[in-house]
Amino acid sequence: MWETVRLWVREARHIAVLTGAGVSAESGVPTFRDAQTGLWARFNPQDLATESAYRANPQRVWDWYVYRREMIAAVSPNAGHEALAAFSQRHPGRMTLITQNVDGLHQRAGNTDALALHGSIAEDRWLDAPRVCCQVDKLEAGRPPRCRVCGNLRRPAVVWFGEHLPADALEAAEQAAHGCDLMLVVGTSGEVYPAAGLAFAAHQSGARVVIVNPEPTPLDVVAEHCLREPAAVCLPALLG
């Protein structure tokens, strides 16, 4: 099975890779729900990841994201991230990396053009549409920072529950899914849409789909092969 998939990688004109939380977990990044520890254990994570929660208690939500940023800053890309980045650098234009992860580890490994479907936890944006007075270099410090003139808040640049994915990234991901001849689905639960739908789109367009995940997923039904290994083990062997 491994040699077959390695052959498919060599033969593929274009490869789309969809990654999820499992890849980052191998670096020590807690999954969304696993981040509920210590002071945060009493909160439902969905109560900390909506616009309404932020408007109701911006300091609480801001502090939770600061906490998560600190956890992410303490870890490094693993061999899976590095294998993807090295392959992209050796084969420019042959791979589109699509990630559901917000931690930036793919980018830190060298995949600077990764399509981040759920945004970036390291970045901020305005909560409301910015006015002329909303200048990033003139923020009023605080938890969270805000425009010193109109009070518009800064917020983490991630996709919260109930929000749309960034249109440009989603469109590019859909094009890659429809245009690839091989899709690797790595470390994702396959339960979060529309990202999970990309695997079905690739399959329906005639691409081979390979799942890399130690556990079964709902996407296994469209897979040619399921490699039950962690990304840090599997990807260097497939892409090296």
Confirm whether pTM is higher than 0.75: yes
Confidence of residue 47 (pLDDT cuts 50, 70, 90): confident
- Is the domain of 108 the same as that of 83? yes
Residues 108 and 175 in one domain: yes
3-state secondary structure of 212: strand
Of 81, 82, 68, the closest CA to residue 30 belongs to 68
Band (pLDDT 50/70/90 cuts) for residue 37 is low
197-204 helix and 167-179 helix, angle to the nearest 10 degrees: 30
Q: Compute the CA torsion angle 193, 166, 114, 16 (nearest 10 deg).
A: 40
For residue 97, the SS3 value is strand
pLDDT (tens digit per residue) in 146-198: 999 999 999 999 999 899 999 999 999 999 999 999 999 999 999 889 999 99
CATH of the domain at 68: 3.30.1600.10
Q: Could you give phi then psi for residue 32, rounded to 5 degrees?
A: -50, -50
Domain hosting residue 171, numbered range: 1-29+76-118+164-240
Percent of the chain predicted with pLDDT > 70: 93
pLDDT tens for each residue of 97-131: 999 999 999 999 999 999 999 999 999 999 999 99
User: Has residue 144 got a pLDDT over 70?
Assistant: yes
Residue 176 corresponds to which amino acid? A
Residues 179 and 212 in one domain: yes
Strand residues in 113-174 grouped as ranges (E): 115-116, 119-126, 139-140, 146-147, 154-158
Residue 62 has pLDDT above 50, yes or no: yes
pLDDT band at 240 (very low <50, low <70, confident <90, very high): confident
Q: Does one domain contain both 219 and 131?
A: no
**Residues 55-74: what's their mean pLDDT?**
92
Percent of the chain with pLDDT over 90: 85
Q: How many domains does the chain have?
A: 2
| Average of per-residue pLDDT across 130-140 | 95
Whether residues 38 and 90 share a domain: the answer is no
The answer to whether residues 66 and 172 belong to one domain is no
pLDDT for 42 beyond 70: no
227 and 138 in a common domain: no
Q: Does 128 lie in the same domain as 232?
A: no
Co-location of 113 and 230 in the same domain: yes
Q: Identify whether the C-beta of residue 114 lies closer than 8 Å to the C-beta of residue 97.
A: yes
pLDDT at 220 over 70: yes
Cα separation, 81 vs 22, in Å, equals 11
Per-residue pLDDT band for 205 (boundaries 50, 70, 90) equals very high
pLDDT at 44: 73
8 A C-beta contact, residue 18 and residue 183: yes
Active-site amino acid positions: 118
Residue ending a domain, among 102, 137, 158, is: 158
pLDDT-derived band at 40 (thresholds 50, 70, 90) equals: very low
- Domain co-membership, 174 together with 213: yes
The CA R_g of the chain, rounded to the nearest whole Å, is 19
Question: Mean pLDDT in the chain?
Answer: 93
Q: Are 33 and 161 in contact (CB under 8 A)?
A: no
- Same domain assignment for residues 150 and 235: no
The token pair at 235 is 């990807």
- The residue from 158, 180, 210 where one domain ends is 158
Same domain, yes or no: 2 and 69: no
Average pLDDT over residues 1-17: 92
